[in-house]
Amino acid sequence: MTPVDDRRRRSSASSVKSSVSYSDTERRWGVLDARVCLPAVLNDPRKSSRYANEPVPVIPPSTLPDVQLSDFASYLKKLKHRNHDQKSLQLENQAQKGLNGSSITSKIPSRFYQNDFDTRKEIQFALSAGKDAKTENICVHDAQLKHWLDLTEVELSRRLSSRAASFLAAVSAQDTLKDLLENAQKTARNLRSEVKVIGETVSGSFAAVHRNNKIARLKETTRLLKVIQTVQQSPATIRLLISTYDFSAAKEYIETIREVLQNELQGISGLKNLHSELDNAEKQLNGILVEEASCIFEILLVQEDIDAERAKSIQEAIVCAGRLADTTQAIHDIVEKRADDLLSRLKDLEGIKRIEKDVSSLTRLLHLVKRGVFIEEFEILCKSSVEIVQHRLLRVLQEKHFTQEKDFLQTLPILYDFTNTCLREFNTQGPLVMQLKAETNRYLNKFHDERRQRLALLLDSEEWRPAEVPKELQEAIDDVLAQGQGQTGLIPVRPKRPAISPAAEISGDKFVVIGCSLLMIKMINEYLGCLHQLPSSTLLHKLADLLFLFNSRCCQLVLGGGATATLGLRSITTKHLAITARSLQLVLRVIPSVRGAASSVLSDDNTTQVALRQLNKVESDFQTHIQELWGKISAIMDDFFAKHVHKYEVKAPVPSATMKTVVKQVKKLSDSLQEVLQPAEHVTLISKIHTSFNQQMDRRIKALKTSKNDGLLLSDISFYMSSVRKIDGMTGIDWS
């Protein structure tokens, strides 16, 4: 047991003993009595009240023990984890409340607490109060003073007790802070010792690191010196690369030197002139690159030979140097010069042969240009070369006025094939195709306008009588029919045709027609020939327009009676109507062949379908017009029958005048139509007219209320029937 523990034990024993039997003389003061010593002495219940004559107990003097901070360690540990904050706050609030509203201190005069309070003055005051009872007054006043003193001691003990908790909390907080500081001090001490150990351990490694850094800096300095030496020698190296035609390496070397000067050697005064030297070398290199590329293409276009590896290297260097535009322009000049040279060699040739030769040589030239392109960036050269070559060809064609030549149609397919070849192999058609389309449209407009005007003049001067059919026009009909069956060009086997025929023939059918319809067939053949050479739906539209003109103008001149004014005809006869119908039937017969020929040549697109629908509309108009012509013939005969049948009377003589007139008119009509119509059509038309007359006679007989068995009537009918049956094909006709 330590001396401190022994002292604590004796102090605790003394406290316990004093709690059992209190004696001011025997009790020894200990450190634990510091908290409750004064209140215990003043308010000990075991003691009676002290009077003025009672002596104040004397506290024996004692020597304070030698106490260290470690003596309070166990005690402080017990208080360490106690929560005194809330309790201290409550006690402090209560103490404050007691101080503010204490009823004890309010009973004591304020002078009792003043610094200049004097007991002797109080006793003198008591003595002066009365002479008879001096002793009694002094005792009373003494008791009052003691009472005030007791109240003060009670209030003081209460206040000391309320402050004890705050004191202990402060002590506890101070102890906690001290522990934290001790731990921090201990941690810092350990850390210092560990750092010291580490420093002693790695001091050799730090020296090695320092040495390695120094070596690295020396190596970097050496490397920069070598770079400076290399950079200073760069002009000579660039000249060497250029002399060996290693242009790509020279360009890359220049860019590398520039980058080194910019990033690593910036600010070195000894290298400030090197920038201008590099600029001059790069300018010289760019000029050499353009010149070399031009030489390579010139050799290629003339000798058709090329060093592929060298050309590719130069083209890559040109792209890297950003000189593609300059190089392209230089090569354009070479291509243009070569194209002019090729075109000038063939100026002695004329017509299609020259154009074929020109196109062939220019196509070969473009293939050579394409052969000389080795990288993607140079592919633009192929397209631009196509434009240059086609411009030179257009200049030659315009100088020849090729659109006015007779073989213009034969020339167009060759030129269109050339543009298609350019599109297929070089991804561009060039300016030639636009010029060809413009020239083609002008040619087609002129082609159509000429034939339209010619057809209108022919129709206005047509005499509307049967025309002879020359062999040439019959062959034109055969050509149209053959093209409708898919044959183009010359027909391998032609049927034998006489030089002159009275009628046109189609598949054994004879057509007695006007001369204008034969020329119309010839124009159709010309349109189909042009369509074969210039596959364009525009041409089919124009052909449909020409057919519409033919049909509408025929209708105006014949059905409308316009021929009486233009040609001076006295009237439009049934023969005029019949021959017009047959002429329209001839043209209508070849329209399906036109449709078939156009479908085999034109592409199946919207414009072609529109043109074919227009052609179908014209075909329908032809059929309607033909029916109107046959109807007009029937209407003429109906009017004639109505005029004469209305006068018919069943009376002698027999045959009657009316019947004679009717028979004469029918025979006249038959004779005029027999020359124009086919036998079957002739019989059909006469039968229709006979039926019309039969119906009108039945109505007249009913109106006359004559018996059908009347002898005079039967005689007239017999005369009529015998006359009609003499017409070809009408032998078996009856009176219904």
What is the C-alpha separation between 379 and 426, in angstroms, rounded? Answer: 9
To which H or E segment does residue 506 belong?
strand 504-506
What is the C-alpha separation between 338 and 344, in angstroms, rounded? Answer: 10
User: Residue 243 pLDDT more than 50?
Assistant: yes
Place 397 in a pLDDT band, splitting at 50, 70 and 90. confident
User: pLDDT tens digits, residue range 430-443?
Assistant: 888 888 888 888 88
Mean per-residue pLDDT, 131-160:
75
The count of other CB atoms within 10 Å of the CB of residue 382 is 20
User: Residue 570 pLDDT more than 70?
Assistant: yes
376 or 65: which carries more pLDDT confidence?
376
Could you tell me if 72 and 172 are in contact, meaning their C-beta atoms sit under 8 angstroms apart?
Answer: no
Give the burial class of 318: count Cβ atoms within 10 A of its Cβ; 0-12 exposed, 13-18 middle, 19 or more buried.
Answer: buried
Phi/psi at 732 (5° precision): -90, 15
Could you tell me if 292 and 247 are in contact, meaning their C-beta atoms sit under 8 angstroms apart?
Answer: yes
What is the C-alpha separation between 187 and 193, in angstroms, rounded? Answer: 10
DSSP 8-state secondary structure symbol assigned to residue 32 = G
Close Cβ partners of 503 (under 8 Å, ≥ 6 residues apart): 466, 469, 510, 511, 512, 513
Could you tell me if 318 and 341 are in contact, meaning their C-beta atoms sit under 8 angstroms apart?
Answer: no
Place 364 in a pLDDT band, splitting at 50, 70 and 90. very high
Close Cβ partners of 558 (under 8 Å, ≥ 6 residues apart): 464, 572, 576, 577, 580, 629
What is the C-alpha separation between 44 and 154, in angstroms, rounded? Answer: 12
What is the C-alpha separation between 660 and 74, in angstroms, rounded? Answer: 169
Give the burial class of 87: count Cβ atoms within 10 A of its Cβ; 0-12 exposed, 13-18 middle, 19 or more buried.
Answer: middle
Place 241 in a pLDDT band, splitting at 50, 70 and 90. confident
Mean per-residue pLDDT, 295-311:
89
Mean per-residue pLDDT, 93-115:
63
Share of the chain above pLDDT 90, in %: 15
Peptide bond into 60 cis (omega under 30): no
Domains in the chain, CATH or no CATH each: 239-429 (no CATH), 439-633 (1.10.357), 646-724 (1.20.1280.130)
User: Residue 16 pLDDT more than 50?
Assistant: no
DSSP 8-state secondary structure symbol assigned to residue 402 = G
pTM, to two decimals: 0.58
Place 259 in a pLDDT band, splitting at 50, 70 and 90. confident
Place 261 in a pLDDT band, splitting at 50, 70 and 90. confident
User: Scanning the structure block, which residue is given the tokens 């060298």?
Assistant: 310
Q: Which two tokens stand for residue 42?
A: 């003043």
DSSP readout, 106-152? Answer: GGS-GGGGSTT--HHHHHHHHHTT-STTHHHHHHHHHHHHHHHHHHH
pLDDT of 587 reads 93
User: Residue 411 pLDDT more than 50?
Assistant: yes
The span from the first CA to the last CA of the chain, in angstroms, equals 168
pLDDT of 5 reads 47
Close Cβ partners of 467 (under 8 Å, ≥ 6 residues apart): 513, 514, 515, 518
Could you tell me if 342 and 350 are in contact, meaning their C-beta atoms sit under 8 angstroms apart?
Answer: no
User: pLDDT tens digits, residue range 658-668?
Assistant: 888 888 888 88
User: Residue 618 pLDDT more than 70?
Assistant: yes
What is the C-alpha separation between 592 and 682, in angstroms, rounded? Answer: 25
pLDDT of 7 reads 46
pLDDT of 10 reads 45
Mean per-residue pLDDT, 257-284:
72
Strand pairing class (509-511; 504-506): antiparallel
User: Residue 22 pLDDT more than 50?
Assistant: no
pLDDT of 453 reads 94
Give me the torsion for CA of 192, 194, 196, 198, rounded to 10°.
-140
Identify the weakest region by mean pLDDT among 274-283, 332-341, 568-577, 709-718: 274-283
Average pLDDT, the chain: 79
509 strand-pairing partners: 506
What is the C-alpha separation between 328 and 375, in angstroms, rounded? Answer: 13
169 or 507: which carries more pLDDT confidence?
507
Mean per-residue pLDDT, 633-652:
85
User: Residue 14 pLDDT more than 80?
Assistant: no
Q: Which two tokens stand for residue 630?
A: 């046959």
Close Cβ partners of 686 (under 8 Å, ≥ 6 residues apart): 666, 669, 670, 673, 724, 727, 729, 730
pLDDT of 115 reads 75
Could you tell me if 220 and 265 are in contact, meaning their C-beta atoms sit under 8 angstroms apart?
Answer: no
Phi/psi at 647 (5° precision): -95, -5
Q: Which two tokens stand for residue 305?
A: 């030979």
SS3 (DSSP) at 505: strand
To which H or E segment does residue 500 belong?
strand 500-501
User: Residue 8 pLDDT more than 70?
Assistant: no
User: Residue 535 pLDDT more than 80?
Assistant: yes
pLDDT of 530 reads 87
SS3 (DSSP) at 305: coil
Most confident by average pLDDT, 153-157, 208-212, 328-332: 328-332
To which H or E segment does residue 510 belong?
strand 509-511
Most confident by average pLDDT, 286-290, 300-304, 698-702: 300-304
Secondary structure string (H, E, C) spanning 233-276: CHHHHHHHHHHCCCHHHHHHHHHHHHHHHHHCCCCCHHHCCHHH
Could you tell me if 542 and 448 are in contact, meaning their C-beta atoms sit under 8 angstroms apart?
Answer: yes
Mean per-residue pLDDT, 519-527:
92
DSSP readout, 561-626? Answer: -THHHHT--S---HHHHHHHHHHHHHHHHHHHHHHHHHHHHS-SSHHHHHHHHHHHHHHHHHHHHH
What is the C-alpha separation between 427 and 467, in angstroms, rounded? Answer: 55
Place 41 in a pLDDT band, splitting at 50, 70 and 90. low
pLDDT of 590 reads 92
Identify the weakest region by mean pLDDT among 57-61, 240-244, 281-285: 57-61
Close Cβ partners of 64 (under 8 Å, ≥ 6 residues apart): 31
pLDDT of 448 reads 92
Instruction: Find how far residue 317's CA is from the centre of its chain.
Output: 35
pLDDT of 257 reads 76
Amino acid occupying residue 359: V
Place 67 in a pLDDT band, splitting at 50, 70 and 90. confident
